[in-house]
Structures are given as structure tokens and as C-alpha cells.
Amino acid sequence: MISPFLILLSCGGADMAAPTSSEPMAERYVDMLMEESEDDYAGDAFGGETKKAEARSRGGARYQAMPAPASPMLAGLMDAEEAPMDADEDNRADKGGDKGDGDGGVSTRTWFPETFLWAPRIVTDASGKARVPVTLPDSLTTWRVLGLAASKDARTGAVVEVDTRLPVYTEPRVPSFLRQGDVVSLPVQVFNASEEPLTSKLTVSAVGLEGGSSGAVTVAPGGRALETARLTAKNPGAGSVEVVLEGADAVVRELEVLPRGRKTSLTRVGVLGASEGVSLTSPDGSDYARARLTVYPGPLGVLRDALGGASTRLYTAGDRIFAIALATRGAEALAAMGVASDEAASRKTRILAAQGLIRQVTGGDLNKQLTLIDGLAGASDDPVIERMLTWARDEATRAQLPDGTWPIRSGAGVQQLLALTAYAAAVLDDERTRVVASGAFERNAAFLLEEVTTDAYTAALVLNSGACPAELVAPLRAIVADAVEKGDDGLWTVELPKGVVRPDGQAVSEAERLAAAAVALSGAADSTADSTADSTDDTVRNLLASLVARYSPGSGFTDARAGLAALKAFEALAASPPEGEIEVALKVDGEVVGRQRLDPRGEQTFVIAAPVEPGERSFEVVSEGAWPGMAWHVTLESWAPWDDAVQPGGLEVEVAHGPTRAYQPVAVTVTTSGPRGAQVEVVQELPVGMTVDAESLPAGATADDRAVRATLEVGDDGLATLRYTATPTYAGLLWSGATIATARGVSAFAPPELWTIR
């Protein structure tokens, strides 16, 4: 059983406040603290000292760990104090997995998080003490826990170390994945830190894999032994490896067996609570398929997901502007919903995004200036951003014409003129500018209301501009409401006439029209007339949910302008998070294949994945209740043999390497042929356990535990070559994935290869 510990924070009766997550210094130290590490932690910078509390016995005792005195406020709490209590198996069972006896009364270790505690704003009692119950992970290490507090005379807290190592234990080195067909020799170490020799039975078994081993192992006092078990990954799906050292330790590690074929994906999106199902069909020749359900808990989920990946998408000026908006207004919107964001990560995103932005937005392009103002509003505390904002505001304000409009390119129509005027008035947020723009809308009222030329997008922009004349509010809102329709896919849309463009002349994306219409119908942006519109109205909820459904992880809402429109809708309509948990289930051909309870303040998304038979399948997402703005993505992933794929002409790729032995470097060469001067994107999927020497990679190439990625230029000889060194860390017969080379929109591949690693 796991032993909780007690942190006591005493301040001698003085008021004490633990730092909140918005304080970057506190958050940074906590993040450092919770990682498994044997390195010394510089807790004394806070005036604290380190005290170690052992928690090695796993026979049913609990321990209370108390901080050492950093100052008089912690005096008298010097020693770690044991406090045996009754076993509480439910406490561990909540973490999932088998918490029963592995063998002979030994608990099975299954929970291995990298961090396990973040408890801000702990309230102490009248004596300045607080109790924080904690379930310790199953990792065998030393955990360092920092208690931060502050008294009125600036005295602080202390560090507690909790040792969760065992005198005798086993540690299998299980990879996070295998590929279908892999045969791996799995290393299993047995450690004996006791003063007695060890002779025990060691058993390795697997779920979802074939093979294993069982036999006696002998380890001298203070020594270790290395055993191996041969495992075969026959079928794709989830798997696990269990290692039991009889009478001493038991551990379970999970892994995934990946299909070896060529992957294709089909996705449909929908709104949670709708009864319509979807039908998807695997391509011919598929030999394995899997259904994946991803549920976004409304704007809360989208904001957290988008903010988490904002710093990785900084290619264009629009990417940078949207990243800054997410790191400021997006984080503020999350805070308004009661969810704290990572302030240190947000600050890093703002800094990275601002770098180089000046070069990308300088010039006289009015639409770039307006997008800059739209995205950077709220981030003016940064001096670099403040200078860019001041410049852009001055330029855009001076560009307004005497008739209240802003200039458009020659040949553009009245619709684009009014859309640009509405957008400029909204983002500049200046009273004089709005008054003059309002006159332009009055003079063009006939165009806005004319049945032949009306469109809900321009009407919504005018309503959201803050400059809409009072007499136009009701008729324009009616135009927007009449354009809202339910599509064949179960999602709501805003129908527009042909030829409607956004202020910069580009086509209006689905996300933009949904966001603009949702804000307009709620009246959230209307400052010119009293509005009785209710932001919880069914139409607005449907629009918001459909907007969430249009979000795609990795690519967001297609571009910065669409993302900024969605962010405005989330700010205006999602001021509070949904309450209470709901249960969501995925049905395939009428049968439930997975279900999960969803907490609005939990993870930004959750995924249910289940294997299905290839072919045509029907899917339905059902729930007990639904929150406003919830959406789902159902994806049918299929795998077919690579040999069946048609190779293009003019582009080829091949992989070569020398003999391979575990823990010995091997040279790998990837050669592509293609048009001279072409840029070739190469992705080589590695066998499991390959460690790439980063220094051997060419400039710009990257590698992780699954793939090497590089951009190469085809030379005058028609070839481009990638060379690097890698070290196998597992022995066996291990499949690589495919190697794919893409140039000028055309892709060629080298199929998966079986590596023999001795």
C-alpha cells in the first residue's frame, strides 16, 4: 500500500498564504521539486533545510513526513514521525490498474507519474498547521516536496524528502511502444540493497504480447542481476508487462503495439447531445482499424489545448500574433473559468512570438496592422509589444477616411468595404473612430438590409463593431439568426451568399462566421443598444459547440484571423466553466466500446480508442447530459500494407545501415532522388529503442525516440543524403516504420524494414 505523508506549515500564529499558480517563481520551484531526481535541491534559498523521511516498508504502514525548521515558525518539527494506520486499498485503486497483491502479499506497482502533487492555497488552522493527504507514486526514488509559506516577517517554509525505494526490487526496462511483429529481448534488473543474499523466483508475463520467462534468480547483498525475457508483439493494441519477484516486489508497465501498415484517417465532427450518428468506411485492403473519439469540453478544452501548443507554431506573422493572444487573453479567459494556466509557459510563448514579429508586420498593409492590434490587445505590458501596438494603432487610425470607412483595394465591393470598416472600428476601440464609422453604416443601411445583398457575416461584424446604429441592431440580428442552419453532419453553420469575403479579401472560414454570429446573437459585443439576448440561448450554444467542433489539434482554426474570432467568442460567451461531471460513451454499430467520465476542470480533452473491424462502421456519441459548447471528433484510423501503395515517379528513397548490435553505434544513411534544387522533407520512423546521436545530425534535423526528421536539398546529381549515427538499446528482431520523402507535394516511401539487432 502507498503511504501518505503530512506536511505541516507553521507560522507561529501569523497569517500565512501559499503562493498561487500565477506566481512564476513558486510554480517554477514546485515543478523542479516534483521531478524524480537524486540531485540536491536548493531549498535553502528559501531559508529551509532538508529532512528525509523513509517510506520503504510497504506492508501496510503509513508515514507522516514533517518539514525541518527553516525558522522559529517551524521550530519543534525536526524529526520524521512514523504513524502506522490501517491499510487503505481504495486510496491506491483510484489511480487505476491492479493494486492487488502481485505475489505473497506484495503490492503491484503500476502508477509512475513524473509529478504527483501541486496544492496551492493551503489554508492553515488557528495554530498555523495544515494537513495535505497525498498518495505517493509507485516509483522507487527519492521525492522532494517543498512547502512554501510566508509569515508577516518574511519567514518561509522547508523541504521534505520522502524515500520510496525498497530494499529488494525489480526494474524491467519496458519501451513505451512496440511494432506489430517485433520480437524483443526485454532486460529485467533485480536489485538487492539489503544485507542478506537473495534467492527468489522471477516471473515475467505479458498481456497483449506472447512470451515471457520464469526462473530462480540469486543476487548477493548490495548487488544486482540482469535477466532477459523474450516477448513477441503479435497484434496491435494495448499491452502490458508484469514482473514479479516472489515475496519482494511486483511491477506492471504498459505499452502500445503499433500497426506496421500505411495509415489513413477519416474524421467526422459533431455536437455532444445531438442524436445523429456518422458512418465511416475503411479503405479497401485495410488489415487493421481503430476508432478514436476525442471530446472537447467546450471552449475550456480548446483554449487549454491551443495554449499548450502555441509556442510550437510560430512560422508566420499570423501564428505569432495568435500565440501572443492565446498567452494573454486566452490565459485570462481560462482564469475567468476558474482554471489556472502556466504563467511561466505563457510568458515564454509571448517572448518567442514577439521575436521577429516586427520584421514580419512592418509596412503599410492595413489588414496586417489591424490583425496585429486585434491579437496584441491586452499584452501591452511588454515594451516590445507596446511599441508595435502604438505604431499599428497610429497607422490604422490615420488611414480612416473622412466618410468613416477605411480604404480597400481597387475593384473590391461594398461588402468588403463595410466588413473592413466594422473590423477596424472593433479592434481600434476608439470612441471618435466608432462615431465616424457609425455614419458610414447609416449611409449604407440600404445595402446592409437589401435582401439581394445581405449576408450574415457582414451583419455580425457590424453588430460586433461597437458602432452599429441603434435602429439597425434588430434587423441585422434577424439577418444573422435567419442564416443559422443545421448541416447534414449535425453541426450548425451560417449560410452566406457567394462572393462574401472577410476584411482582407480572403474567403470567410466556417470558424469565423460561427464565432461572429455567436457573439452577435448573444449581444455580448453590442454597446449601442440595450440587448435582451441571452448568451445561453439554444442557438448561441449550438453555434459555440459547432465552433469548438471546427477546432483541429495541431492546425487550430485554419489561420490567425479565424483563431482570433474564435477567441473573441470564447471570451464573450464562456465566462464560467460548466458544473458537474458527465459520462460520455462511444458506440460502434450500436455497441458501446468505451466510456469515460469527464470533468470540466480536468484534462483539456479525453480520448476513447478501440479496435474495430475494417469496413463500413456506424458511430454514435452518447452522453448523460452535456455542457454548452461541447464537441466531438470521431476518427476511423486504418492501416493497409505499404507494398500496396503506388509509388510516384521522379522521387525515390532508400535506407541503408551496417550490422547492428545492442549498445553499439551504427551509421544510418537515407538517400533520396528527385528534381535538382528541390527541398525534400524526410521522416524516418525508427525501430524501438534507437537513440540518435544529436551531434551527428545535419543542421535543422531533429530526432526523438520514434523518428528522425530532416529537410534536405537535392543536389546537381539528383540526390539528397541524410547521414547520422544511432545506438540500439534493445536486442531482437525489430521493425522500423516507413521512411517517407516529400518534395513539391509528392511523397515516396521506403517500406518498413526488419532490423536484426544482436
At 605 the pLDDT is 60
Report the candidate in 372, 528, 505, 522 with the shortest Cα–Cα distance to residue 441. Answer: 528
Residue 211 contacts residue 229 (beta carbons within 8 Å): yes
- Asked, colleague to colleague, whether 169-258 and 648-757 share their fold, the answer is yes
At 536 the pLDDT is 43
State the residue for C-alpha cell 532490423: 755
- pTM listed for this prediction: 0.61
Rounded CA separation 3/438 (Å)? 67
Cell triple for 705: 525516440
Rounded CA separation 237/257 (Å)? 5
Secondary structure (3-state) at 606: strand
Q: How confident is the model at residue 58 (pLDDT cuts 50, 70, 90)?
A: very low
CB atoms within 10 A of CB 38: 7
> In this model, does residue 160 exceed pLDDT 70?
yes
- The DSSP bridge partners found for residue 756 are 733
- The DSSP bridge partners found for residue 255 are 239
Rounded CA separation 479/451 (Å)? 9
CB atoms within 10 A of CB 113: 12
Strands 484-486 and 492-494 come out as antiparallel
DSSP character at residue 553: T
State the residue for C-alpha cell 544485507: 195
Range with lowest mean pLDDT among 194-203, 527-536, 663-672:
527-536
The dotted CATH code for 262-297+578-640 is 2.60.120.260
Q: How confident is the model at residue 480 (pLDDT cuts 50, 70, 90)?
A: very high
> In this model, does residue 188 exceed pLDDT 70?
yes
As a three-state string, the secondary structure of 645-679 is CCCCCCCEEEEEECCECCCCCEEEEEEEECCCCCE
Q: How confident is the model at residue 151 (pLDDT cuts 50, 70, 90)?
A: low
> In this model, does residue 467 exceed pLDDT 80?
yes
State the residue for C-alpha cell 503479435: 234
Cell triple for 528: 449601442
Quick one: CA torsion of 518, 522, 524, 525, rounded to 10 degrees? 60
Report the candidate in 506, 529, 508, 514 with the shortest Cα–Cα distance to residue 480. Answer: 514
Report the candidate in 577, 586, 588, 590 with the shortest Cα–Cα distance to residue 606. Answer: 586
pLDDT 10s digits, 77-103: 222 233 232 333 333 334 444 444 555
Which class is domain 648-757? Answer: mainly beta
Please give the mean pLDDT across all residues of the chain: 79
Strands 177-179 and 249-258 come out as parallel
pLDDT 10s digits, 502-529: 999 999 999 999 999 999 998 765 544 4
> In this model, does residue 668 exceed pLDDT 70?
yes
In the chain, what are the domain boundaries?
Answer: 24-165, 169-258, 262-297+578-640, 299-399, 405-576, 648-757
Report the candidate in 43, 273, 292, 271 with the shortest Cα–Cα distance to residue 159. Answer: 43
At 158 the pLDDT is 65
State which fold the 169-258 domain adopts: Immunoglobulin-like (2.60.40)
Rounded CA separation 305/297 (Å)? 11
At 199 the pLDDT is 95
